[in-house]
Amino acid sequence: METTQPEVIPAVPVATVMPGPIELIKRAYTDYRSRFHVISKVLAVSFLASVFQSIITFTLQDSLGLYLLASVLAFIVIYISYLALVIAVADEQNQHADISALYQSAWHVFFPYVGVFILTTLTVIAGLTLFVIPGIAVAIFLSFSMYVLVVEKKHWMSALTKSWYYVRGNWWKVFGRMIVFAILMGVLMIITEIVTSLLGLNQIGPRMFMDGYNGGEKEISLFASILSLAIQSFIVTPLGIFFFYLIYKSLREQKPIELQEVEEKKIRKNIYIIMGLGIVMSIIIVIVLGTLIVTLLPQIFPTPGAEEVNTTLSLL
């Protein structure tokens, strides 16, 4: 007797509705509070690295070599901490219980992250050369590449392609939620600056100077600078990562996890086209600007004695 195999029915994406921006912020804050004991040490490392970078910006400007070395080291620590924070946020099963495990995982994906970051930046810049709106559109499409890298272990173009796939059809929803979050965090930073100024907290501690501010120097209180960094490190950045992760999670639940090969090739082709057009536009912009500079520079900054030479030649 012939046995029949049960028919395999393809998985259907779960029809979920993306929460609104306020609901996302509430959930992000709730998750932040519940996971604070795990991520607080990572936030502290990131904060100290940011303070170190802020200090060397004002103290090592005269020593270019030391300044560049210290800046690179600070950036590496900051971005590895950023990756560790993303891993902690995405680790809903608490597999990384201590900070050393988080940083080991972050180090393993650091160089793939650099590759994804470079590709994303180049694509967004390419979009910006095609005018501002395409650049913004591309930035939104690729905004979840890092989460795809960390959660799904997709590297390089695969991370960009998957992010584009998730956002497609949800662009306005994602954009609107990002705008609301950016406005609320911007208001928080403005309120902090106003309160700091009213209470005179910006007068506490040593003074630092930023050269070239409106043609002179702007005094910056070290205390005020550290306070601003603390708010960014312990509130804005972690809330932003939780917020973006919740959007990514919602987008992923709405679509099949496995992207079809034909569809993936089509999306990659679009990204490559944007990159190619961006490169062409960049070359055209450089040529046009170079021509304008060469043409207008002698008129703006005439060479000494050029008028006398021209007068002599005209008399001859």
User: Could you write out the DSSP letters of every residue in 204-230?
Assistant: SS-EEEEEEETTEEEEEEHHHHHHHHH
The reported pLDDT for the residue numbered 102 is: 81
> Rounded CA gap, 61 and 218, in Å?
16
Where on the phi/psi map is residue 201: left (φ > 0), alpha (ψ -120 to 50), or beta?
Answer: alpha
The reported pLDDT for the residue numbered 97 is: 62
> Rounded CA gap, 108 and 86, in Å?
13
The reported pLDDT for the residue numbered 2 is: 46
Q: Note whether 71 and 56 are within 8 A (CB).
A: yes
Check the CA dihedral 115-139-266-165 and report its sign: positive
> Rounded CA gap, 51 and 152, in Å?
32
- Tokens found for residue 172: 């306005």
> Rounded CA gap, 277 and 245, in Å?
31
177 Cβ neighbours under 8 A, 6+ residues apart: 18, 20, 21, 24, 243, 247
- Tokens found for residue 194: 């106003």
The reported pLDDT for the residue numbered 12 is: 45
Outline where the chain has alpha helix (H): 21-34, 36-59, 64-90, 99-108, 110-129, 132-141, 145-152, 157-167, 171-198, 222-231, 237-254, 261-300, 306-315
The tens-digit pLDDT sequence of the chain (316 residues) is 444 444 434 444 445 678 888 999 999 998 888 888 778 888 888 788 877 777 776 666 666 667 777 778 878 888 888 888 888 888 776 655 677 778 888 888 888 888 878 777 777 777 776 677 777 888 888 888 888 888 888 777 888 888 888 888 888 999 999 999 999 888 887 887 777 676 655 554 444 444 444 444 445 566 667 777 788 888 888 888 899 999 998 888 887 667 777 777 888 888 788 777 777 777 887 888 888 777 766 666 655 555 554 555 455 5
